[in-house]
A and B are shown apart, each in its own frame.
Chain A
Amino acid sequence: MLVNQFLVLGAVLFSIGVYGVLARRNGVLVLMSIELILNAVNINLVALGALQGASGAVTGQVFALFVITIAAAEVGVGLAIVLLIYRNRASVDLDEVDLMKG
C-alpha cells in the first residue's frame, strides 16, 4: 500500500489550505481553506490508521468522522459570523475586521 501518496496528497492539501487561510481576504474563502486543512488531516488519519492493520483502520476512520462532525459545526458557526459581519459592514474583507486591535 502506497501510504506515501496519501501523505503527499494530505501535505499538498494542507499547504493549499494554509495558504488560503493566510493569504485570502474573503472570510468565506478563509473558512473553505480551513475545511481543506481539516480534510488533509482526515486523509492523514485514515491513511496512517490503515497502515496499522484492521483495528488501526477503524480507529483512524472514527477519528476522521469526529473531525468531519466538528468541522460541520465549526463551519456553521463560522458562516454565521461571516454573515453577520456582512450584514453590518456590507463586506467580508477580513482586513477591515480589526476591532480587537490592542
Chain B
Amino acid sequence: MLENAWVIPTLTFVSFWLILFFGKRLPGHGAEIGIGALGLAFVLSCVAVVQWVDRPATEVVPHGTSEEVHGEEEEEHGAAGGQRGEDRQVVATAVETGGHGEETPIRSAVERNVTWFTIGDVEVTAGTAVDGLTVVMLFTVTLISLLVHVFSTNYMHGDVRFTYFFAALSLFTTGMLLLVVSSSTLQALFGWELMGLCSFMLIGHWWEKAENSNAAMKAFLTTRTGDVGLLVGIVTLFFAAGQTFDIALINERALTGAIGHTALVVGAVGLFIGVIGKSAQFPLHTWLPDAMAGPTPVSALIHAATMVVAGVYLVARLYGVFWEAFDIGAGGVNPIAVVGGITVLIAAALAFVQDDIKKVLAYSTVSQLGYMVMALGVGAWTAGIFHLFTHAFFKGLLFLGAGSVSHAVHSFDMKADMGGLRKYMPTTFVTFLIGSVALAGLFPLAGFWSKDEILVGAAENGYPVFELVGIVGAFLTAAYMTRCVYLTFFGEYRGHAHPHESPRPITIPLMVLAVFSVGAGLLNAPGVEKFFEITENRVFLLAGVEHHSFEVFPAVVSTVVVLAAIAFAYLLFFERRLPRGLTRRNALARSGYTLLTNKYYLDHLYTGVIVGSVKGAIARAAYWFNQKVIDGVVNAVGIAARRSGDWTYRHIDQAVVDGAVNGAGFGAEGFGGILRTIQTGRVQQYAALLFGAATVLALGLIIFV
C-alpha cells in the first residue's frame, strides 16, 4: 500500500464522478457511493499505517543537533550560503563518523514518481511520497471524512442538493488526500486549490441566502490572497532548488545550504503567506468564522479537522525550508512562531463573545491552529503534528456535537435557543463534554499530551515567550469551552423547539470520535512515544530538530492553569458569583468587549480601509487613466479608422468600385438595347437572317477558299 498510495485519492475521485452521474438514481442518493469509497479508503489507509509501522528502519541519517548548528551559524555569520552549507555537511559527517554515536536508523520514505510533463530540460514528475507524517494524515483524514459522511446521511436528509453535497465531500477529500501523498510542490498545489474550490462550494451550499454565498466568496477570496504567496513561494523554490518541485529534494537542498539564504527566505515567506490564508492565521483568519455558514458536517470536516490543517501540514512537509530560512533552531523570535502565537491569543479571546455555538468552535479552531503553527515555529515539529492529529478528533467531535444540538433545536444561538440540553440529549452531552475537556487539555485526554509537548518544546528550544503564550492560551481555551458547555447544556432550556436525542447516524460518529479524543493522546505518552517513532523522518533528523518528550513541571502548570480557568468560568457562569454586567459598568471592560465583538475591526480594515481605498483613490485613478489614456488611444484609433473609412468610401468604393460595377451594368443595358431591335419575335425574320448569314458564309467559302 505504501507504493500504491495513489489509489486512495483516486478512489475518492472516482467516487466524486460516480456520485455526480449516478447518485440521483440510487436509493441512497449517492451517499452510499461516498461512504463505500471512504470506507475502502479508510481500510487502505489503515493498511498503510500497519505497513509503515512494520517497515524496517534501515536509513541512517546523520544527526545535526540544533546547538551545533547554532555555533556554526555564529562562526560563519555573513559568509556565503554555499560556504555555510559545506561546513554544515562537514559537521554532519563528523557526527556520523562517531562523535555522538546516536544515529538510530529510521524508516526511509517510500517514493514513487512518474514523469508528468517535460518542458525543455526540466522534467516535472508527479507521484507519491509516503512517510510517517503521510500515513498519519491519511488515517486522520479518511477516518474523519468517513464519520462526517455517515453523520451527513442523517443531518442532510431531505436537502435539495443532497447528492451534490456528497459529491463535493468526495472531491474535497480527494484534494486533501492528494496534498498529503504528493511528492512535489506543484502536485500539492493542485490538492490545495481543489480544497479551496470545494470549500467554496460547500460553504455556499445553501446559496439561496445571500449571507451564505457571501461567506463562501469571502472564504475563497481570503484564502486566494494567501495562495498568491504560496504560488510565489513554490516558483521561487523551484528555481532556487535547481528547477525541481520535488519536496524531498527541496528540503535536502535547503538544509545542506545548496539554496541561497535570500531565495530561501523569499520562498519561505511566500509559502507561509499561503499557510496564513489556508490555516486561518492572523491576520487572514477572518474567513473561518464566516465559513460556519456552511452545513455543520462541512465545518467539522473542512474547517476543523482537515482543510485548515493543510497549511500546518505544508509547513511540516517543507520544514527544511522554514527551518533554514527563519533559523528556527536559533531560538528567540521568528515569523512563524509570532504569527502562531498572536493567533492563539486573539482567536481565543474572540471565542468569549460569540453567541453562536459554531462560531465559538470556529474561533477555537483558529486558536488551536495557532498552537500548531506556533509549535512548528518554535521547532517542536513532532508536537505540532501531534497536536494536529489529536485536534482533528476532538474538534471534529465538537463540531459534530454542535451539529447534533442544532439538529435538535434548529438553531445555533446558545443564548436564545439552548440551555439545559443535557437532560434531553445525554449522548451528545457526554461526547461534547469529552471533546471540550480534551480541547481544554485535562489529563489524560488527547489535548493534554499534545499541548504539553508544545509547551515543553517552546521552553527547551529557547522560546520562553511562546511557552507563556501557550499557557495563557490554555487558560482562555478552558474558560471559553466552559462557557460554551454551560450555555448549551446547563441551566434551563430557553428555546421553543422540542429537543430530542439525535438518531444513530449522528451519535455513532460522536462516540467513535469521543473514543479517539480520549485515547489519541496516549500514543505519545511517556513510555509509549509511538507517534514520535512513526513520524520521525529524514528532514527532521537532517535539520537536527529535537524531540522533547513529556515533562512533569509544565504539565502540572498547565493543568493548574486549566483548572483555574474552569473554576473561573464556573464561578462566572454557573454560580454567577463574579460581578455581572461588568461590560456595561466598567469603561475599560466595555471598550475591550466592543473591540472583541467587532473582531478587532479587522473586517472593517479589510472592507472599509483597504477595499475602501482601492474603491476610492485607486479606483478613481484607474478610472482617470482608463478615461483619458486608454480611452484616448481607443478613441483616436476609432476616429482615425472612421476617417480613413470615410475617405475609402467616398473615393474608392463609390468612385472606383461602384463605377466599375455600374459601368458594367450600363454597358450591358445599352448593348442589350441595340440588340433588342433585331429581336422581333417573328420566326421568319430569324430564318431570313439565318439564310442570309449562310449565304454570306457560302460566298466567303467560294471566294476565299
Q: Are B688 and A22 in contact (CB under 8 A)?
A: yes
Q: Which of A14-44 contact B (CB under 8 A)?
A: 18, 21-23, 30
Question: How many A residues touch B, CB cutoff 8 Å?
Answer: 13
Which chain B positions have C-beta within 8 A of A18?
A: 691
Which chain B positions have C-beta within 8 A of A95?
A: 682, 684
A102 close to B (CB within 8 Å): yes
A101 close to B (CB within 8 Å): yes
A30 to B683: give the CA distance in the assembly, Å. 10
Q: Which of B677, B681, B687, B688 contacts A99 (CB 8 A)?
A: B681
Which chain A positions have C-beta within 8 A of B682?
A: 94-95, 97-98, 101
Which chain A positions have C-beta within 8 A of B683?
A: 30, 94, 97
- Mark each residue of chain A from 63 to 102: 1 if its CB lies under 8 Å from any CB of chain B, else 0: 0000000000000000000000000000000110111111
A97 to B683: give the CA distance in the assembly, Å. 8
Q: Are A102 and B688 in contact (CB under 8 A)?
A: no
Q: Are B681 and A94 in contact (CB under 8 A)?
A: no
Q: A18-B691, A22-B691, A102-B676 are in contact. Are A30 and B684 (CB under 8 A)?
A: yes
Q: Which of B583-639 contact A (CB under 8 A)?
A: none
Q: Which of A22, A97, A101 contacts B687 (CB 8 A)?
A: A22
A18 to B691: give the CA distance in the assembly, Å. 8
A17 to B435: give the CA distance in the assembly, Å. 126
A23 to B688: give the CA distance in the assembly, Å. 10
Measured CB to CB, the nearest residue on chain B to A98 is B681
Query: How far in angstroms is the closest Cβ of chain A from B699?
Result: 15
Which chain A positions have C-beta within 8 A of B684?
A: 21-23, 30, 94-95
Query: How far in angstroms is the closest Cβ of chain B from A79?
Result: 15
Which chain B positions have C-beta within 8 A of A21?
A: 684, 687, 691
Measured CB to CB, the nearest residue on chain A to B687 is A21
A93 to B48: give the CA distance in the assembly, Å. 111
A25 to B405: give the CA distance in the assembly, Å. 115
Query: How far in angstroms is the closest Cβ of chain B from A71?
Result: 17
Which chain B positions have C-beta within 8 A of A99?
A: 681
Q: Are B679 and A101 in contact (CB under 8 A)?
A: yes
Which chain B positions have C-beta within 8 A of A23?
A: 684
A98 to B676: give the CA distance in the assembly, Å. 14
A102 to B682: give the CA distance in the assembly, Å. 10
B680 close to A (CB within 8 Å): yes
Q: Which of B683-702 contact A (CB under 8 A)?
A: 683-684, 687-688, 691
Q: Which of B647-705 contact A (CB under 8 A)?
A: 675-684, 687-688, 691
A99 to B680: give the CA distance in the assembly, Å. 9
Query: How far in angstroms is the closest Cβ of chain B from A27?
Result: 9
A97 to B684: give the CA distance in the assembly, Å. 10
Which chain A positions have C-beta within 8 A of B688?
A: 22
Measured CB to CB, the nearest residue on chain A to B692 is A22
Query: How far in angstroms is the closest Cβ of chain B from A98?
Result: 3
Which chain B positions have C-beta within 8 A of A98?
A: 680-682
A30 to B677: give the CA distance in the assembly, Å. 24
Which chain A positions have C-beta within 8 A of B687?
A: 21-22
Q: Are A101 and B691 in contact (CB under 8 A)?
A: no
Query: How far in angstroms is the closest Cβ of chain B from A20?
Result: 10
Query: How far in angstroms is the closest Cβ of chain A from B692?
Result: 10
Q: Are B691 and A102 in contact (CB under 8 A)?
A: no
Measured CB to CB, the nearest residue on chain B to A97 is B683
A79 to B682: give the CA distance in the assembly, Å. 18
Which chain B positions have C-beta within 8 A of A22?
A: 684, 687-688, 691
A95 to B675: give the CA distance in the assembly, Å. 20
Query: How far in angstroms is the closest Cβ of chain B from A63?
Result: 19
A22 to B692: give the CA distance in the assembly, Å. 11
Query: How far in angstroms is the closest Cβ of chain A from B697?
Result: 15
A69 to B688: give the CA distance in the assembly, Å. 25
Measured CB to CB, the nearest residue on chain A to B677 is A102
Which chain A positions have C-beta within 8 A of B680?
A: 98, 101-102
- Mark each residue of chain B from 26 to 63: 1 if its CB lies under 8 Å from any CB of chain A, else 0: 00000000000000000000000000000000000000
With most chain B CB atoms within 10 A of its CB, the pick from A18, A99, A102 is A102
Measured CB to CB, the nearest residue on chain A to B682 is A98
Which chain B positions have C-beta within 8 A of A97?
A: 681-683
Which chain A positions have C-beta within 8 A of B676?
A: 102
Query: How far in angstroms is the closest Cβ of chain B from A8?
Result: 17
Query: How far in angstroms is the closest Cβ of chain B from A16?
Result: 13
Query: How far in angstroms is the closest Cβ of chain B from A40?
Result: 13
With most chain A CB atoms within 10 A of its CB, the pick from B676, B679, B683 is B683
Which chain B positions have C-beta within 8 A of A100?
A: 679, 681
Measured CB to CB, the nearest residue on chain B to A25 is B684
Measured CB to CB, the nearest residue on chain A to B676 is A102
A94 to B687: give the CA distance in the assembly, Å. 12
Measured CB to CB, the nearest residue on chain B to A27 is B683
A34 to B313: give the CA distance in the assembly, Å. 109
Known: A100-B681, A101-B679, A102-B681. 10 other contacts (CB 8 A): A30-B683, A94-B682, A95-B684, A98-B682, A100-B679, A101-B680, A101-B682, A102-B675, A102-B677, A102-B680
Q: 10 shortest A-B CB distances, which residue pairs?
A: A102-B679, A101-B681, A98-B681, A100-B681, A102-B676, A98-B682, A21-B687, A22-B688, A101-B680, A22-B684
22 CB-based A-B contacts, threshold 8 Å: A21-B684, A21-B687, A22-B684, A22-B687, A22-B688, A22-B691, A23-B684, A30-B683, A30-B684, A94-B683, A97-B681, A98-B681, A99-B681, A100-B679, A100-B681, A101-B679, A102-B675, A102-B676, A102-B678, A102-B679, A102-B680, A102-B681
